[in-house]
Structure 1
């Protein structure tokens, strides 16, 4: 059944916000509020986080329910998901926006890319890996290390809430290679580079964005840029929407 709410009645593309590992869709809350205030239809699904292929299939199923064009936005690990060849196969994805996110090429994995340059604090001593009761494993950041590694510029109380409510990822997903041509090769792309990022260092973010030919904006932020810099995040998303759909200007912010 196709969605028949505001997502299908607006003339603007639907903006689909996809969260990364260790967080859930709540990282987009302030961005969603700003996009809604500007009149844009938004959807922010929660990924299963069990495998890259599974996350891509899940997201593809959601996109297929949306009539009309989509601007797809991914944070962190979700950059690999929105790059997956399966995601845009049955949907009208007109642009991709990478928010401190992976932009893997064919046969590359997120884990491989993050080891390409020094500086990441996603290292064994800062991580916890535990068996998942349903099978597989769960990877999270040690709560006492979460703020420094992931959200150093987020209010301490908010960062503590994020640390306590992490959405685990199966570490195998981070080693899973992209199985074919990435979506960024055939669509216009935008990339937000967080210059104080200790999860995905800015050098790797710049490398991937340059390679993809993305329009790059840099912001002084930790990896939790949708939380700490929602204005810059929203501005880049709206820039992408207006570039691919210039006739759908909505209410001014």
Structure 2
């Protein structure tokens, strides 16, 4: 053990002055740091058609690194009303503020599930639909020219008379994920989750959260599923905050996870 030698009075006085000046200098910065590292909202990510929760992995890792709790919801893709009920149950199980993120068809489900939920502080639409009541994915995708999705779909009849829709795996990379590395896009084509034809044609119903909750729109400027003009129209209608990503495919959350995560964090900082 080391013994501390008595300090001369002058050294003690100097030490006190240094300590006092240090406290004065760092106090405000420490307080700011505490605010920056306080509790953060939970980010809930909702995938759309022809995707699954693993597509968010690059976004999730960045959000978690920055201290955000994250839930990547499993969207059933069976129908707007039933998918909304599943998501609403998940939202109700989360304590505290939420930033809700929807991709593609997931935007419809997110906007409907968050209606009237005071815990949802911001909505982020990532190459996504933000419908009014009475609008469907099929209707919105046809608002402006440019979608080539329909000609790539391959239906699988279901016993109940409905049909599961898949994107032809050979066409999936260029249709859905043109800016994703080829090997990864081919894996996504194989693991894609089908959506029912009924879900894409089902109208949104009831109040829509984007009419009351601040909304953010990440526009994929090379999207072949939802025309960029449609995405910009929906953002303008919602008076949303917009960020455009040049040469980004419909799978912008996969190809540009850093930009996507940064945009989500912007919404969290400003609203939650």
- Please give the TM-score of this superposition, normalised by the length of structure 1: 0.89
How far residue 182 of structure 1 moved from its aligned partner, in angstroms, is 1.1
**8 A contact 1:60–1:91 mirrored in 2:** no
Aligned-partner Cα distance in 2 for 1:234–1:184: 20
How far residue 27 of structure 1 moved from its aligned partner, in angstroms, is 1.0
2:61 to 13, 27, 33: 33
Deviations 1:5-38 (A, max 9, x none): xxxxx82110000000000001100000000110
Q: Does 2:71 correspond to 1:43?
A: yes
**8 A contact 1:139–1:170 mirrored in 2:** yes
Q: Larger % of helix: which?
A: 2
Where does structure 1 lack aligned partners over 5 or more consecutive residues?
1-9, 246-253
How far residue 132 of structure 1 moved from its aligned partner, in angstroms, is 3.1
Equivalent residue, structure 2, for 1:223? 250
Residues 203 and 215 of structure 1: CA distance in aligned 2, closer, same or farther (over 3 Å): same
Equivalent residue, structure 2, for 1:65? 93
Bigger Cα displacement from structure 2, 126-135 vs 110-119: 126-135
Structure (1 or 2) with the larger CA radius of gyration = 2
Q: Does 2:59 correspond to 1:23?
A: no
Q: Does 2:220 correspond to 1:194?
A: yes
The count of corresponding residues between Structure 1 and Structure 2 is 234
Aligned-partner Cα distance in 2 for 1:61–1:89: 13
2:137 to 89, 92, 110: 110
RMSD: 1.3
2:262 to 220, 235, 249: 235
How far residue 131 of structure 1 moved from its aligned partner, in angstroms, is 1.8
How far residue 179 of structure 1 moved from its aligned partner, in angstroms, is 0.9
1:212 to 238, 246, 251: 238
Aligned-partner Cα distance in 1 for 2:117–2:125: 21
Aligned-partner Cα distance in 2 for 1:181–1:64: 18
